[in-house]
Amino acid sequence: MRPVPITGVDGGFLYAESASQPSTVLAVFSLDGPPVTLPALTAHVAGRLHLVPWLRQVLRTVPFGIGHPVAEADDVFDLGHHVREVTLPVPGGAAQLDELAASLAARRLDRRHPLWRLVLVHGLDGGRQAVILLVHHALVDGVALRTVLERLFGPVPPTATDAHEEPARSTAATRVVAALAALARVIAGLPRLIVDTSRALRAIDRRRATAAVAVPGRDDTPPCAVNRGFDARRVTSRATVERARFTDARDATGTSLNDVLLAAVGGGLRRVLGPDGLLPDRPLTASIPVSLDPPDTHSRVAGNRVTTVTTTLATDEPDPAARCRRISEVTTEALAQLRAGDPSLPARWLELAVPAIAEPAMRMWARRRRAQPDRADYNVLVSNVRGPAGDLRIGPARIGAVHQSGPTFDGAGVNITATSVGDRVDLAVLAHPDALPHPAALLDGVRAELDRLAAGTPPPAP
């Protein structure tokens, strides 16, 4: 059995990583019920390790960077390295928990070990506890993380009993041989890839020529304060709203839940940036992930099967309902253009982006972003994901809110994630403090805009 490399899409999150740009996915869970001890949490995770193979796997590099890293069993795996505890100082409020979470998300995970960590947090006011999960984005996207959380904290699924199988261990020599063989296969498929890409680009051009609305490109993204942020500092904030507020807004505007989220974020940014004169005249743009999994996929525990589209946040529109409808039109067209081509093409090209090529390219890209801070591909990242289903527990303690956030990037300093769980939506912002000093204010604005969208009320006077 040959060593199995991660994909080029997964590897991209490794190659883009730097001291100021960790590719860490952050999740903060509240706990309700009897207190959880560190030994109890450790025992709980130990009993579920076989359900999520990458919990015990380390990424081995290929010599000379000629292939993507290989995931295989960690021969010196130490669960104590990954499951830890922290006690917050008095008074243990939400702001202190956010400060701890942001500081953890700002650190790169140690690649000598499996790329995850679980931190049990004591000392919250009222005797409460929380759990912070850190995992490298190279290992999971939103769909995979949902399954991981269900396997770690939900009822043990009977279909997961074979998940303990490990990939073959390898030597440097076998990794080189496997990488060369993989690269040869990719190069052999390059003529077909070029043909498929040319065909897809022509199809997208035909779609654009007849589109009723324009989809923003890089030149349409205005310079904005939210694109500041080129160091390792992070801030975060969390909020929970009733799902009914989203569905009421959807029904009132005749759009989708995703459109409502984008409109509320756009309105929230208007509220945060406008009073300080930081809101550009041109509308801000958002990069949104689009899953490439079939709709019924719900068993994957690893990997990234996503692409992205860019859409408008219509921040030049003061009326929230009109903003939502414009966002809906533009996003619908962006997705149509994506489907007109071939959404799998970026992933196929990234198989060629082995570390020897990708890492220098990423460093060059980062230098360009720092040298040209007003040139951004998009202004903010906005994700809308389905959270884990069912009753999640650690022993008798029940997991309540599930606040997740993906990483920010140099020159794209704000990441907003909405996680739908049952009858609520858990909102989280991770940001550079230079881009968004007070992320809680943005979430306050998002909630206020949701209320206006749901009620169909006019916008506040400027």
pLDDT recorded at residue 417: 98
pLDDT recorded at residue 411: 87
**144 plus 250 within the same structural domain:** no
**240 plus 179 within the same structural domain:** no
382's enclosing H/E stretch is strand 380-386
Picking from 72, 143, 142, 150, the residue whose alpha carbon sits closest to that of residue 114 is 72
Tell me which amino acid residue 235 is.
V
Cβ proximity of 324 and 263 under 8 Å:
yes
* DSSP helix/strand/coil, 66: coil
In whole angstroms, what is the distance from residue 400 CA to residue 421 CA? Answer: 9
**131 plus 275 within the same structural domain:** no
Domain of 327, CATH number, reads 3.30.559.30
**Residue 222 per-residue DSSP state:** P
Tell me how many domains the chain contains: 2
Chain centroid to CA 179: 28
pLDDT recorded at residue 170: 87
pLDDT recorded at residue 374: 87
Domain of 152, CATH number, reads 3.30.559.10
**226 plus 317 within the same structural domain:** yes
**124 plus 245 within the same structural domain:** no
pLDDT recorded at residue 167: 63
Domain assignment present for 462? no
CA torsion angle 60 167 135 365 (round to 10) = 50
Domain assignment present for 3? no
**139 plus 282 within the same structural domain:** no
Exposure pattern of 16-42 as b/e (b: 16+ CB <10 Å)?
Answer: bbeebbbbbbbbbbbbeeeebeeebbb
In whole angstroms, what is the distance from residue 150 CA to residue 24 CA? Answer: 20
**124 plus 270 within the same structural domain:** no
Last residue of some domain: 162, 183, 204? 183
Domain assignment present for 350? no
In whole angstroms, what is the distance from residue 179 CA to residue 352 CA? Answer: 11
Residue 93 corresponds to which tokens in the numbers above? 């409020």
Burial class (CB in 10 A: 0-12, 13-18, 19+), 200: middle
Last residue of some domain: 141, 168, 183? 183
Residue 98 corresponds to which tokens in the numbers above? 């956010």
**268 plus 165 within the same structural domain:** no
Domain assignment present for 324? yes
Task: Please give the sequence-ordered ranges of beta strands (E in DSSP) within 219-377, or none if there are none.
Answer: 235-242, 285-291, 306-312
pLDDT recorded at residue 297: 64
State the Cα angle at 269 between 267 and 274, rounded to 5°.
100
pLDDT recorded at residue 429: 98
Domain assignment present for 374? yes
Parent domain of 245? 215-342+361-455
pLDDT recorded at residue 299: 80
Burial class (CB in 10 A: 0-12, 13-18, 19+), 184: exposed
Q: How many CB atoms lie within 10 A of CB 410?
A: 22
pLDDT recorded at residue 162: 45
**226 plus 146 within the same structural domain:** no
**22 plus 91 within the same structural domain:** yes
**228 plus 157 within the same structural domain:** no
pLDDT recorded at residue 457: 61
Domain assignment present for 138? yes
Pairing of strands 235-242, 424-431: antiparallel
**51 plus 144 within the same structural domain:** yes
Last residue of some domain: 161, 183, 205? 183
pLDDT by residue for the chain (462 residues), tens only, comes to: 456 789 999 999 999 999 999 999 999 999 999 999 999 999 999 999 999 999 999 999 999 999 999 999 999 999 999 999 999 998 999 999 999 999 999 999 999 999 999 999 999 999 999 999 999 999 999 999 999 999 999 987 655 544 555 666 789 999 999 999 999 999 999 999 999 999 999 999 999 999 999 999 989 999 999 999 899 999 999 999 999 999 999 999 999 999 999 999 999 999 999 999 999 999 999 999 999 998 766 689 999 999 999 999 999 999 999 999 999 999 999 999 999 999 999 999 999 999 999 999 999 999 998 899 888 999 999 999 999 998 999 999 999 999 999 999 888 899 999 999 999 999 999 999 999 999 999 999 999 999 999 997 655 554
Domain assignment present for 304? yes
Domain assignment present for 201? no
In whole angstroms, what is the distance from residue 269 CA to residue 313 CA? Answer: 9
